[in-house]
Structure 1
Amino acid sequence: MGTKPYVGHLSKEIACKQGAVRAVRFNVEGEYCLTCGSDKSVKLWNPYRGALLKTYSGHGYEVLDAQSSCDSSHIVSCGMDKTIILWDVSTGQSLRKYRGHLGTVNCVKFNEDSSVAISGSVDTSIRCWDCRSKKPEAFQIMQEAKDSVSSVQVTDHEILTGSLDGQIRRYDIRNGEMIADEMAHPITSVWFTRDGQGLLVSCLDSTLRLIDKDTGELLQEYTGHVNTEYKIDCCLDHTDNHVISGSEDGTVYIWSLVEGQLIARLEHVGSKVVHSLSPHPSQAWLLTAAQNSIYLWKDQPDEDK
């Protein structure tokens, strides 16, 4: 059974003009996207028109990650200034600045109803911040990691984290349990399958692994890309049929989930590292970031081209 081609057509390239683009993220509906810049800014775009809608300025150093809230009214961002900022999307104002991390904050996510922001840092901690409270300090701190926390994902009842100490950790919010799985290599990115039963893990041995959440069993490995040095995003598409990863050779690699077979490569001409990805929530579209630009890929060529 053949797998249909996925996002093979470059629809749009956008020069973001915010230094190096550290991350790109679709909003929850896939209508807009956020970019995080080395120039300390977060920008809101309509990626289909290449239109800049708003710029959010307030970080003191490079911004490394951001996410829109479930109703797209707020943004949470983090970066090398050790802070997490909660923004009002429409006014562009910062509503809260959360401080407490002792080093660069690598990643941040909202929980399902966007009432809590969860951040992971070089200081090895994960911190939970109440976005509805005026209290500036974290209400929960998880400090099990022995090295930098590189990646965080959140479902309705679980927090999934990856660390350079080679362990993925799952925190069950309902019963307070923590379960760890050893990958034996530094982890740069983690992702839940849609049914919540699988964990996709990217490691610095240029290998992605699909793990059974309950048993820890290795279900599949994905190789061919290069990832030995940088934090590179991995993800699944909206159908969970495709595994996607950036790479340190200027290419995005796409595999079939079940067979583990490489089915597509998206070349980013002139780029050395493609480090950030964001799959559209309901279409076979993908956003990627490399150097100073973002790229929108689709499964069909645009009709007006």
Structure 2
Amino acid sequence: MSFPAPRPEPPRLPQHLLRTLECQQGAVRAVRFNADGNYLLTCGGDKSLKLWSVSRGALLKTYAGHGYEVLDVDGCVINLNTYSGTTPYSMRGTPATRVNCVRFNEEATVMLSGSIDGTVRCWDTRSRRMEPIQVLDEARDGVSSLKVVEHELLTGSVDGRLRRYDLRMGQLHVDFISSPITCVCFSQDGQCTLSSSLDSAVRLLDKSTGELLGEYTGHQNKDYKLDCCLSNKDTHVLCCSEDGHVYCWDLVEGSLALKLPVGKAVVQSLSFHPTEACLLTAMEGRVQVWGTEPEDAEADSIAAE
């Protein structure tokens, strides 16, 4: 006689506030985990970038010298001089207008930036030449977000287009979203793309065909460049909101799984831990760290083991 296997428990979501970091760098424009999730980086309206310990909430280093407020940073690579607290090099050939987003490839040999002038510029980080090695200018308005995975580059633009460049094959694929895009990302399995836009919708598309697989609504995104992302196991879709919450939907069912109250202002940015159910949110001049259990409960669990 056999019995049916028990149904797996649904993934637990980060909804307990573990700590708040008062960043003291003006408005925090973006917050990002690094590749292993042990550190976080905050981008400030005061033109600074700060590196923090996630577990201790301690400030480790402040990087200054930027000409404009810092709007994005790639958490996958900390390509900074941690001893002097300065960036190791600057880039010529950057547009005179604002840079909205930056990313490195996996080997950190190429750095890419998306700008308000509609271009994506690529630099060889190993070369002494500071001019870009390639400029992609297909967007008809500002590039608001970009992601790089292996040989693929995904960009979102204010012109409402989601562009995916296959850099190995030299091909460009375009999907029309119909509303200015604020954030883009790949799913963890590499089969889908996720984008948020100023019509207060988050869309999941099949990467190869452009088919709409899911649409997630209920949050507010009409005026600001806000982040969206997938959880570390592709089970949930998360997005910032102008009403002071982070919305979290079940990816398959499309139902709202969690409406996380962060505060009374716009939640500007978020970042999901690469391997654990831990979330970062940024609102005004502070960053919040969220977990599945209150911190005291986590400490008791570790002690019991």
Q: TM-score, normalised by structure 1?
A: 0.92
CA drift of 1:299 comes to 1.1
Q: Does the Cα contact within 8 Å between 2:183 and 2:195 map onto a contact in 1?
A: yes
TM-superposed CA distance for 1:69, in Å, is 4.8
- Counterpart contact for 1:3–1:256, Cα < 8 Å: no
Tell me, yes or no, if the aligned pair for 2:196 and 2:202 is still in contact at 8 Å: yes
Instruction: Describe the superposition over 1:14-46 as per-residue Cα deviations: whole angstroms up to 9, x where unpaired.
Output: 100001001001000000010000111000001
* 2:101 aligned with 1:107: yes
Residues 264 and 119 of structure 1, relative CA distance in 2, 3 Å threshold: same
Residue identity (%): 51
| Residue in 1 that maps onto 2:59 | 52
Q: How big is each residue's C-alpha offset from its partner over 1:281-305, in whole Å with a ceiling of 9 and x where there is no partner?
A: 0000011101000000111221359
2:150 maps to which residue? Answer: 156
Which residue is 1:240 aligned to?
234
- Relative to structure 1, the CA distance from residue 31 to residue 13 in structure 2 (aligned partners, 3 Å threshold; closer, same or farther) is same
Q: Check the 8 A contact 1:107/1:151 in 2, yes or no.
A: yes
Structure 1 counterpart of 2:284 = 291
The Cα offsets for residues 181-207 of structure 1, whole Å up to 9 and x where unpaired, read as 001111000010011110001011000
179, 182, 199: which one aligns with 2:176: 182
Report the AA paired with residue 132 of structure 2. A
Of the two, which has the highest radius of gyration? Answer: 2
1:127 aligned onto 2:128:
no
Match of 1:282 among 271, 275, 281: 275
4+ aligned runs moved over 6 Å, structure 1: none
The structural deviation recorded for 1:268 is 1.6
Contact 1:12 1:47 in 2 (8 A): no
Instruction: Supply the AA of the counterpart residue of 2:20.
Output: E
Letter in 2 for 1:299: T
Please give the alpha-carbon distance, in whole angstroms, between the structure 2 residues aligned to 1:9 and 1:275.
19
Q: CA deviation at 1:54?
A: 0.2
Residue in structure 2 matching 1:257, options 235, 251, 257: 251
How many residue pairs match? The answer is 290
- What is the distance in 2 between the residues matched to 1:141 and 1:172? 15
How far does the alpha carbon of each residue in 1:110-154 deviate from its partner, in whole angstroms, 9 at most, with x for none?
101111111100010000011111111100000000001000000
Code of the residue aligned with 2:190 in structure 1: it is G
> Could you tell me which of 138, 145, 148 is aligned with 1:144?
138
Whole-angstrom CA distance in 1 between matches of 2:104 and 2:219:
29
What is the alpha-carbon distance in structure 1 between the residues aligned to residue 123 and residue 281 of structure 2?
28
Please list every run of 5 or more consecutive structure 2 residues that lacks an aligned counterpart in the other structure. Answer: 1-6, 301-305
CA contact (8 A) 1:158 1:172 kept: yes
Specify every segment of 5 or more residues in structure 1 that has no aligned partner in the other structure, as ranges: 75-86
Q: What secondary structure sits across from 1:34 in the alignment?
A: strand
Structure showing the higher strand proportion among its residues:
1
Q: Which position in structure 2 is the counterpart of 1:28? A: 35
Distance 2:287 2:174 in 1: 34
Query: By how many angstroms is 1:233 displaced?
Result: 0.3
Quick check: 2:12–2:277 contact (8 Å CA) kept in 1? Answer: no
